[in-house]
Structure 1
Amino acid sequence: MSFRTNLVRARGHIVFLVALVIGLLLVLWLETLGDPPDPNAQSEGPDLMQTFDEIEPLPLAVRGESSGDDLESARIAWTYFENNTIEETGLVNSVDKYPSTTMWETGSYIVAVLSAERLGLIDSEAAEARLSKMLDSLRELRLFQDTLPNKAYNTRTLELVDYANQPSELGLGWSALDVARIVATLGLIERNHPALAPQVEALLDTWSLDSMVQDGELYGTNVVAGEVQLNQEGRVGYEQYAAKAMMLFGYDVYRAYEVRNDLMVQMVEGQPIPVDTRLHRGTTPAFVVSEPYLFDGLEFGFDARSHRFATAIYRAQEARYEDTGILTAVTESHLSEAPYFSYSSVWGGGSPWAVMTFQGERIDSRRTIATKAAFGWDALFGTEYTQTLVDALKDTADPEKGWPEGIYEQSGEVNGSTTANTNAVVLAALAFKAGGPLMRKVEE
């Protein structure tokens, strides 16, 4: 039988196979079609990290010494902690004269003590006494469901409280990010005051830290209508800072530290900004602020990835100033008026430079030139622009009270809320200028 005859007999099968191949090629071709790529966003995937690999990180600006102006700024910041330390408990108010705190602000107090010591504002004996008293009080706290610290406590009575600082039998739940924040600073205590390590370890032995780590991620709890709900916590920036903290104490938080699976890039002022693809509170596009990157650099020292992320986030703020003449140093801030707290973002809620409440409402009129962002970026990168920011805020300091949150961009008025977080970052920034990250011991 000839080849031609066989070919004729098999023509039906051949036609079917050819059609199948053509159909497959057509599907693949159609999948490459669609809307043109958005120049302001890139799709998810490992290749996104190449965007940041191409960034040349700004050099760090450790000066190795403190100027007279630095020490005066530090003294003003330390005044906040002198005024707000509760003698009976050794804890510090999160906001001036308001006897409430969280684990986040308590971590900031630890940073303030270690920074003040490094700057020579207090001696080692005084620093150790403050830290020891605080650790004793933390051991006395009633934990949320006997597991982890509640989201808020009264600094005078050590009572577990709600956000109105009223005693609460059940409590608010625990925040994985807040707990990780204080865990980070407990690691700083062990590094800088080894004599206190047994006290730190005894405290951590009473906390069930493994309850907030599941399959490499961080989980917190919320109380909704009397029911306790477990929820994943952390978005790009905050999540990696918290993961570093937990790694210090041997916890496997590989998913929390990795960013690739939850990363998108939004271009802001020509800079690629790392944004989380997950929603804030399940409803609002996540936001990017300076704070977690400041903490990372000032306390731990940047890793290669966070250094590049921080460089892009800083440069976007500098570029906004160059383009508009508007001083820009954005992060989360307390406010001197309702709603009393906001996230001033580089990108958030679906657009650049959005200012949002925790609930995700836009309040752009409350954008603040943040004191802690100005001092933090100046310590880390020391550019002409960061010096301009610090100079613009100098007159807002109150030598009897501390540094306020900053200046409202729109009105030019001082955002007069005065907090532990801001004054701690000012101290950490000035300590960094003199000796680098707090995790690195300074040679005597």
Structure 2
Amino acid sequence: MGFRRNLVHARGHIIFILGLIAGLFLVIWLEDLGERSARGGAGGGHDLMQTFDEITPLPLAVRGESSAQDLEHARIAWTYFVNNTDATTGLANSVNNYPSTTMWETGSYIVAILSAERLALIEAPEARDRIARVLDSIGKMRLFEDALPNKAYNTRTQELVDYANKPSDLGLGWSALDVARIMSAFGLAQQAHPDLAPAIAAVTDRWALDRMVRDGELIGTNIAGNEVRHDQEGRVGYEQYAAKAMMLHGYDVYRAYEVRDNLMIRTVLDQPIPVDTRMHRATTPAFVVSEPYLFDGLEFGFDARSHRFATAIYKAQQARFEQTGQLTAVTESHLSEEPYFAYATVWGAGAEWAVLTFQGERIDSRRTMATKAAFGWDALFGTEYTAKLVQAITPLVDPQKGWPEGIYETTGGVNGSVTANTNAVVLAALSFKATGPLIRVPK
């Protein structure tokens, strides 16, 4: 009787506790429902990756040879680096005649060297010497917090600088994606020139790479006032490419490579587009562009997942042309006018075909049919549509400077900025056509 009496007396507390438990389960259920809704309405335990598993990836279009036109296009791209490599430091400018660079663009320069070597534009001793000089200069650079490369350096003085290319005592922090990009280039360089391994190790041994890999994720730094903030860096596409680069050097970046936890689907012109759910972070915004998939394909030859993602992203751009007649090849691009840089997306900021600043501001009038996307997609997939893209870009070339960024869609005018990234991708694309991905030793 005592137990029953106590149970009756405690019924209010029991009801309260049961109510809390029920409420907790309700919150969990609602959050799960909302999460599944945010991820493209996939419910009932549906695996989002199944949607992409159903995509038949386009075959890679390695031709096994270079045409005379290909070699001329590659020679013009290499002209950019002949013009923009500093005679003293061996570093290449990010933008024509502007003596600044990042680890991303320096990685692109190394990729350009390796591609030019494969295309016999330069001989192996010159390729090795150019890479060795880059390694020597990087090895002398002051690091941010004595840990990792700063986000920008002066190519003439090797000084740590801000985005205005002015010397900076503090610096800008490090970008995990930029560091991963040059680590990819180091891996490719070491495979092509094994005797460079000690010089590469001498550089990377100075770097506290363990500080940008935490619990399987990539960590970058940002400056907020005088505070250095450490943030997870990378979104779907860029994050997985960077993870592969770090895996080449033995780093466990399993969470950066895995995509399921941060994936939702947005349908663009009947194509399922992989979009990152982390749209509202204070760091990198979420958007879908061609660039990381071009790098993945041209350098590594894709994996099964990235091949399907790339196929869908390419097909959406082709579908836009088929529906509107507007040639479409979108990615991140330098601009010849303010704000000087933009992400032309397949999907971004909640909309199809949005063009964004890094801060997420819409600037759709700056959409560029990008030279590097045209050459990259043509090398990878070699379709009638990609041939149209390259054909449209070809008249823009300046044989004395290199390939410009592309064509402004709104005006039809030339986006005349000439950059290391674009000319490196042109070289990598033409190398891919002849010999396949850079990671593989040519037969």
Task: State whether TM-score is above 0.5.
Answer: yes
Higher CA-based Rg: 1
Cα pair 2:39 2:264 within 8 Å, conserved: no
Map of 1:127 onto structure 2: 127
AA paired with 1:168?
S
* Post-superposition CA distance 1:191-216 (Å, at most 9, x none): 11101111111111011100000000
Q: Distance in 2 between matches of 1:97 and 1:43?
A: 50
Cα pair 1:333 1:343 within 8 Å, conserved: yes
Q: Which runs of 5+ in 1 are unaligned?
A: 1-19
Map of 1:275 onto structure 2: 275
* Alignment CA distance shift 1:84-1:192 (3 Å): same
* Alignment CA distance shift 1:39-1:152 (3 Å): closer
Q: Distance in 2 between matches of 1:82 and 1:322?
A: 39
AA paired with 1:41?
G
How many Å apart are 1:282 and its aligned residue? 2.7
SS at match of 2:142: coil
Map of 1:16 onto structure 2: none
* Alignment CA distance shift 1:149-1:39 (3 Å): closer
* Alignment CA distance shift 1:245-1:39 (3 Å): closer
Q: Distance in 2 between matches of 1:231 and 1:97?
A: 33
Cα pair 1:141 1:158 within 8 Å, conserved: yes
Cα pair 1:284 1:349 within 8 Å, conserved: no
How many Å apart are 1:283 and its aligned residue? 7.9
Map of 2:170 onto structure 1: 170
Map of 2:60 onto structure 1: 60
* Alignment CA distance shift 1:396-1:285 (3 Å): same
* Alignment CA distance shift 1:283-1:362 (3 Å): farther
Q: Does 1:42 align with 2:38?
A: no
Q: Distance in 2 between matches of 1:434 and 1:373?
A: 18
Map of 2:365 onto structure 1: 365
Q: Distance in 1 between matches of 2:145 and 2:413?
A: 43
* Alignment CA distance shift 1:284-1:95 (3 Å): closer
Map of 1:216 onto structure 2: 216
Map of 2:313 onto structure 1: 313
Alignment of 1:247-286 (within 5 A): 247-279=247-279, 281-282=281-282, 286=286
* Post-superposition CA distance 1:332-382 (Å, at most 9, x none): 000000000000000000011000000100000000000000000000000
Cα pair 1:94 1:419 within 8 Å, conserved: yes
* Alignment CA distance shift 1:437-1:52 (3 Å): same
Q: Distance in 2 between matches of 1:43 and 1:332?
A: 29
Q: Does 1:386 align with 2:386?
A: yes
Cα pair 2:66 2:434 within 8 Å, conserved: yes
Map of 2:5 onto structure 1: none
Identity across the alignment (%)? 72
Cα pair 1:42 1:266 within 8 Å, conserved: no
Cα pair 2:289 2:346 within 8 Å, conserved: yes
Q: Distance in 1 between matches of 2:281 and 2:76?
A: 36
Alignment of 1:58-207 (within 5 A): 58-207=58-207
TM-score (norm 1): 0.91
SS at match of 2:288: coil
Give RMSD over aligned pairs.
2.1
Q: Distance in 2 between matches of 1:95 and 1:174?
A: 20
Q: Distance in 2 between matches of 1:430 and 1:211?
A: 36
Map of 2:343 onto structure 1: 343
* Post-superposition CA distance 1:17-43 (Å, at most 9, x none): xxx9xxx9xx9xx98xx99x9899334
Q: Distance in 1 between matches of 2:209 and 2:299?
A: 21
Matched residue count: 416
Q: Distance in 2 between matches of 1:122 and 1:199?
A: 21
SS at match of 1:406: strand
Q: Does 1:406 align with 2:402?
A: no
Map of 1:436 onto structure 2: 436
Q: Distance in 1 between matches of 2:315 and 2:140?
A: 44
How many Å apart are 1:279 and its aligned residue? 1.9
Q: Distance in 2 between matches of 1:327 and 1:58?
A: 20
Moved over 6 A (4+): 37-40
* Alignment CA distance shift 1:391-1:342 (3 Å): same
How many Å apart are 1:285 and its aligned residue? 5.9
How many Å apart are 1:169 and its aligned residue? 0.3
AA paired with 2:40?
A
* Alignment CA distance shift 1:85-1:95 (3 Å): same
Q: Does 1:329 align with 2:306?
A: no
SS at match of 1:42: coil
Q: Which runs of 5+ in 2 are unaligned?
A: 1-17
Map of 1:237 onto structure 2: 237
* Alignment CA distance shift 1:381-1:152 (3 Å): same
Q: Distance in 1 between matches of 2:283 and 2:48?
A: 24
Cα pair 1:284 1:360 within 8 Å, conserved: no
Cα pair 2:231 2:283 within 8 Å, conserved: no
